[in-house]
Structure formats: C-alpha cells, structure tokens
Homo-oligomer: A and B are copies of this chain.
Amino acid sequence: MPGPLRLTIWNEFIHERTNAAVEKIYPQGIHAVLATAMRQQLGDQIELRTATLDEPEHGLSAEVLATTDVLIWWGHAAHERVEDAVVERVRQRVLEGMGLVALHSAHNSKIFRTLMGTSCMLRWREAAERERLWIVDPSHPIVAGFREEYFELPHTEMYGEFFDIPRPDDIFLNSWFEGGEVFRSGCTWRRGKGKIVYFRPGHETFPIYHDANVQRVIANSIVWAAPTGSSYYGQGRNIAEPLSPIESEHAVDESLHRAK
C-alpha cells in the first residue's frame, strides 16, 4: 500500500459563528467535529487537513488540491460566494481522480451542481422530525459494518423527492421521514476518474455529525472515493497512426487534423 489517504475537509464555516444554537453544537466548526471523528474512525489510514471559505482561495489552492485524495464539502449559506475559478479547479481535480464527498446542503453547492448538470433541488422542511435511513445495497462498501436494515436520526431537517439529480451509479440509502417523504440519501456517481458520494444527513442545527452511524458512513465514503483504477485520459488525442492496418484508400482532408 502507498502512504495514507490525504483528506481535506472543507466547510464554509458561517453558521457556527453567526448562530448561537449552531455554535453550541459545533463550537469549533463542523469541520473540526468531522476532523476529530475521521481521525477516530480511520486513524493512520488518513492524513487530514481542513479548509474554509474565508481563507485565501477558500483554502483550496492548486497545491492543496494536488495533494488531496478525497475532499469533503459542507456548505449552506454562501454557495454563491465560492469563486468560479476555485470551483473549476476542484472540478478538474475530481475528473483527474480526487474523490468528492458532498454532505447535506452541499447538494446546492456550485461544485456539486456543475458535476451533475442538473438543478439538484429538492423539497425540504425543518421540523426536527425522525429520519430512518434504509440500506438498499447491502453489498456496498459504504455501508460496511451495519448490522441492521436501517439506522435512525431522531431530529433532522427533511429533504424529499423529487431530488433533481442524474441517475446515480449506486444508491445505498433511502430515507423515510416521519412527515411523509422519502429521499435517496446515499448516492454515488463517477465523473472522469473521480468518485463522488452524496450523503444527506447533516443539518447544522442538529448534532448530526456527532452521530456514530453518520460518522461511519462518512468514513466509509472516504475510503470508497479514494483514487483507484487506471490512468485518466481527459484530453483529445489525435491518433494519426492506426494501431491495426487500414485498407482504405479514401481521400482524407488533412486540414481537419486539428487539435481538440
């Protein structure tokens, strides 16, 4: 095995400094709670750093991204304040193989939406209601370690269907909400060579990221989204010389051998 998986946890870090109720739950920020939890869950398997909106380049310089294997994204109030250039830089790194774990309100982040191509919008209701997350793909590595068919969160913000996402490659969790909705709460996609996970729980006014089951899903998502596979070819390649003989004597317009 190579060295540890290099994890970067990104948090916009606004609610925790402007809303007393949120600060009480996450006094050092959501990223700090996630960092502690992932260190407990994954130990030596990971190297970890955090980044926030207010840092230069939102803490996501080219160098940081080049040395990130998996990026966790949490944002809610300030999606529009994330600079387009940084979003494009993150997107390129995902295409090259960096994993992306989008949490909760990150459904509406620029980076998630640009990778999906859809509106990524949904129903919601903030009524502190019960959520029951059903495992619908028991062989999926992201649900490793669960012994029951579901797990619960007692008080959550509801997200409901229709969730306007492209068809997921995998759906591993379907949520039931007390108030009457369902939601595809655990989904994956691949874009370029990068693996993307969306995991629904996480509203800032509830202590969701202190929950052991939620932490386990996030830890498993990180491991699953780490780069694997072969080389990435995301550029046009003019292969003038065929690999195998061609019999054609048809005229070809050489002027069209342009670069893509």
A residues touching B (Cβ–Cβ < 8 Å)? 19, 21, 91, 95, 97, 108, 114-119, 121-130, 132, 134-141, 143-150, 154-155, 158, 160-164, 166-167, 169, 171, 174-182, 184, 189-195, 205, 227-240, 242-248, 250-257, 260
* A144 and B246 contact, CB distance less than 8 A: no
The residues of B that contact A125 with a CB separation of less than 8 Å are 238-240, 242
- State the oligomeric state as a number of copies: 4
* B164 and A167 contact, CB distance less than 8 A: no
With beta carbons under 8 angstroms apart, the residue of B119, B138, B178 that contacts A244 is: B178
Q: Give the CA-CA distance A149 to B232 in the complex, in Å.
A: 8
The residues of B that contact A19 with a CB separation of less than 8 Å are 253, 255
* A144 and B176 contact, CB distance less than 8 A: no
The residues of B that contact A257 with a CB separation of less than 8 Å are 126
* A256 and B121 contact, CB distance less than 8 A: no
* B134 and A149 contact, CB distance less than 8 A: no
